[in-house]
Amino acid sequence: MYNAPLMATTRVIPLSQRSRLASLLDERSPANAMASYYALDHPAERVRLFAHFSAEGDQLNGFLALARTGMDLFRPLLVPFVASASGLQSLLCMAMSPGEPALIHLPVEQRAWAEAVVALSEVETYALMRLDPGQFRSEINVLVMETRAPGGMPRFEIRSRKILYAAAGVNWMGPRFSEVYAEGVEAGVARGFRRAVLSAITGKLLHERRLPLLRVTDQDPLAQVEALDLGYRPTGERTLLAEALLRREPHEDGSAS
């Protein structure tokens, strides 16, 4: 009697069962922190979770979070956590809709896997840095003002009546790690204002016993120098952020257009 081969499956995970995804994650690892946050802690009304199961014993071996964030009001964020090309491609095909762009965040080494089923544009690559609390060098600048971002997250700014020189805040905040950002106009960066606001948000998170993470774009080497001066250290993890659009015809060889 012929037995059909077992096939891996991808399906939606009810949010009441999202804790199952924790078995795949090392919640103490900076490299796992973003996926861990969106899988386990992002507000339930703003996330959908898709899981990939192996054929043998229906074993969970990867997932993807599709999240609405303050990063972009029109494009959801895709955060996959899976270690195989077939798993990533299956998750993307299930989570995405044709003609509807999304942002995707994934390890740079998985780019070719993703490009088999999605077209990527606006690609930026980042190095993930982690604060070493013992090396943190706080900087005090009397021009720094504490405020709140629209979603209620803490934010620090240096501004005049007409110009926002620099700002730093939080992209997401988990129970252990929080990812911060720091940005500034050229005049503000030149005067050290971006580093000052980054120091302020870093100090606040440390006071709350959360460990800050920072992604530094390859296009801004000065940002890495500023982070190093404050006590951030490279983790060796490199990621990309891009717009993704589902292909009508997936590439058989996994190559890009």
pLDDT in the model for residue 255: 44
**13/95 same-domain check:** yes
pLDDT at 4 over 70: no
**Bridge partner residues of 80 (DSSP):** 64
How many CA atoms within 13 Å lie on the side-chain side of 126?
19
What percentage of the chain carries pLDDT values higher than 90?
83
pLDDT tens figures, 66-89: 999 988 888 999 999 999 999 999
pLDDT in the model for residue 2: 30
Domain count for the chain, please give it: 2
Rounded to an integer, the average pLDDT of 103-127 is: 97
Rounded to an integer, the average pLDDT of 17-38 is: 95
**118/19 same-domain check:** yes
Residue of higher predicted confidence among 122 and 57: 122
Distance separating alpha carbons of residues 245 and 173, to the nearest angstrom: 28
pLDDT in the model for residue 1: 35
**19/97 same-domain check:** yes
Distance separating alpha carbons of residues 149 and 152, to the nearest angstrom: 5
**139/121 same-domain check:** no
Domain that holds residue 93: 9-125+239-246
CB–CB of 172/179 below 8 Å?
yes
**226/146 same-domain check:** yes
pLDDT in the model for residue 256: 41
**119/83 same-domain check:** yes
pLDDT at 6 over 80: no
Q: Where does residue 11 rank: exposed (0-12), middle (13-18), buried (19+ CB within 10 A)?
A: exposed
Rounded to an integer, the average pLDDT of 126-154 is: 94
> Which ranges constitute the DSSP H helices of the chain?
30-40, 85-95, 111-115, 186-190, 193-207, 221-230
Whether 252 is in a domain gets the answer: no
Whether 137 is in a domain gets the answer: yes
Q: Six-digit token pair at 189?
A: 């960066």
pLDDT in the model for residue 251: 53
Query: What is the overall mean pLDDT for the chain?
Result: 91
**74/99 same-domain check:** yes
For β-strands 211-217 and 177-184, DSSP reports them as parallel
pLDDT in the model for residue 94: 94
CATH number of the domain to which 186 belongs: 3.40.630.30
pLDDT at 237 over 50: yes
pLDDT tens figures, 205-216: 999 999 999 999
Enter the pTM of the model: 0.89
**157/216 same-domain check:** yes
pLDDT at 257 over 50: no
**137/121 same-domain check:** no
Distance separating alpha carbons of residues 43 and 25, to the nearest angstrom: 19
Rounded to an integer, the average pLDDT of 12-33 is: 94
Q: Which region, left, alpha or beta, applies to residue 219 given φ > 0 means left and ψ of -120 to 50 means alpha?
A: alpha
> Which ranges constitute the DSSP H helices of 96-220?
111-115, 186-190, 193-207
pLDDT in the model for residue 250: 54
Whether 253 is in a domain gets the answer: no
For β-strands 164-173 and 154-159, DSSP reports them as antiparallel
**43/67 same-domain check:** yes
pLDDT tens figures, 166-205: 999 999 999 999 999 999 999 999 999 999 999 999 999 9
pLDDT at 5 over 90: no
Whether 1 is in a domain gets the answer: no
**118/17 same-domain check:** yes
pLDDT at 234 over 50: yes
Distance separating alpha carbons of residues 181 and 68, to the nearest angstrom: 18
Among 90, 42, 40, 37, smallest CA distance to 62 is for 90
